Amino acid sequence: MVRTVGGRSGTAGGALTSIGVDFADPVVEASVLRTLATVESELRASVESADPFVTEAASHLVEAGGKRFRPLLVSLGAHFGDPDAPLVVPAALVMELTHLATLYHDDVMDEASVRRGAPSANSRWTNSVAILVGDYLFARASAIAAGLGTEAVQLQAHTFARLVHGQIAETTGPRDGADPVAHHLHVIAEKTGSLIATSARFGGMFGAAEPSHVEALAGYGETIGVAFQLSDDLLDIASESAQSGKTPGTDLREGVPTLPVLYALASDDRDAASVRLREILSAGAVTDDDLHAEALTLLRESPALKRARETVRSYAEEARSRLMVLPDGSPRRALESLCDFIADRTS
């Protein structure tokens, strides 16, 4: 279960603050907030159906809120061209609807009971309903993408294929002899990085940015997406509070193989703490309260967590390097601030 970037947020401004964007220019900030507000209202309209039940189920996660990270990157990417271009908002809708569709499917795969602080669709209705509503949202995203042109449809389809490949790879696990860490990073790139990359690409495309700038934005999006996901997983271990949006150690209790856990299992350190940590983790999900507390303490003090932090920082710095071809200015600095935020939030 690779978690996706997201969480509850009451306002668009709150979303920007919670996700780590720092605007030096209030004009750019106001522009992004306007776009996000428009996306928010049009999201509700886009999931409506002639069937009231379908509308209710499809609106379930829209109403639960979220950081709208993908529309945010569409909007920021468009600032390297024309942020008010008419297809920027529809492009953001395509990305967010695709993301929401995956959440319905993820909750079925993960047998989740809660999503964004509310009962998940599968627990409120049934797995079958959740799957079908996810399919409906994919269909709505595709219908909007058709209005963006052939290239947009092809890009959305390619992104969707990567999402599915990532889910299959996660479900089947690494093949015999494969490196579990490399497999984990591949899954995150496919399931999380791909959609964020297309979001940044769409922003540049439909804001009419230069082609080289569009490619830079896509590369940035993929890398920052992986970094953000990894940092979220580290917070599950490192935070003393529910900073990650869930009770610390939840992934550990559920047996989710996050990067620090994989590094710890792969370690050949022979000190007593490392040996004991591998012993606990090798059993899978740590459900016993005493063992869970012990494992969490050992992980927080382990070289594995330090190594995972260094990996997050390396992704954040790689994302920053992708921005160097973009013109200097407030939009680029806003994107750079996300790199700083991710590098610092798990330090």
The answer to whether the beta carbons of residues 74 and 198 sit under 8 Å apart is no
pLDDT value of position 5: 40
Query: Is pLDDT at 14 greater than 80 in this prediction?
Result: no
CATH code for the domain in which residue 276 is found: 1.10.600.10
Tell which residue, 191, 181, 232, 53, has the closest CA to residue 109: 191
**183 lies in the same domain as 221:** no
**113 lies in the same domain as 240:** no
Q: CA-to-CA distance for 327 and 212, rounded, in angstroms?
A: 11
Measured in whole angstroms, the distance separating CA 71 from the mean position of its chain's CA atoms is 12
Would you give the DSSP letter of residue 191? Answer: I
Count Cβ atoms below 10 Å from residue 339 Cβ, excluding itself.
24
Choosing from 154, 181, 209, the residue where a domain stops is 209
Into how many domains does the chain fold?
Answer: 2
Between helix 180-188 and helix 150-172 the angle, nearest 10°, is: 150
Residue 6 falls inside a structural domain? no
Residue 5 falls inside a structural domain? no
Q: What is the average pLDDT value for the chain, to the nearest integer?
A: 87
The answer to whether the beta carbons of residues 226 and 317 sit under 8 Å apart is no
With a pLDDT cut of 70, the percent of the chain lying above it is 90
Partners of 115 in the β-ladder = 118
Tell which residue, 126, 77, 135, has the closest CA to residue 103: 135
Q: Which residue type, as a one-letter code, is found at position 173?
A: G
Is the pTM higher than 0.85?
yes
Which residues, 6+ apart, have CB-to-CB distance to 235 below 8 Å? 243, 244, 248, 345, 346
Choosing from 157, 190, 209, the residue where a domain stops is 209
| Least confident window among 150-164, 165-179, 180-194, 309-323 | 165-179
**138 lies in the same domain as 196:** yes
Domain around 331:
212-346
**173 lies in the same domain as 262:** no
Residue 178 falls inside a structural domain? yes
SS3 217: helix
Residue 219 falls inside a structural domain? yes
Query: Is pLDDT at 116 greater than 70 in this prediction?
Result: no
**163 lies in the same domain as 271:** no
**235 lies in the same domain as 189:** no
Mean of pLDDT values over 84-107: 91
Query: Is pLDDT at 64 greater than 80 in this prediction?
Result: no
pLDDT value of position 21: 81
Mean of pLDDT values over 339-343: 89
**116 lies in the same domain as 247:** no
pLDDT value of position 96: 94
Query: Is pLDDT at 11 greater than 90 in this prediction?
Result: no
Q: Is residue 74 very low, low, confident or very high in pLDDT (cuts 50, 70, 90)?
A: very high
Helix (H) or strand (E) holding 7: none
The string of pLDDT tens digits covering residues 240-268 is: 654 445 577 888 888 888 999 999 999 98
Residue 271 falls inside a structural domain? yes
**171 lies in the same domain as 220:** no
The answer to whether the beta carbons of residues 62 and 43 sit under 8 Å apart is yes
**137 lies in the same domain as 250:** no
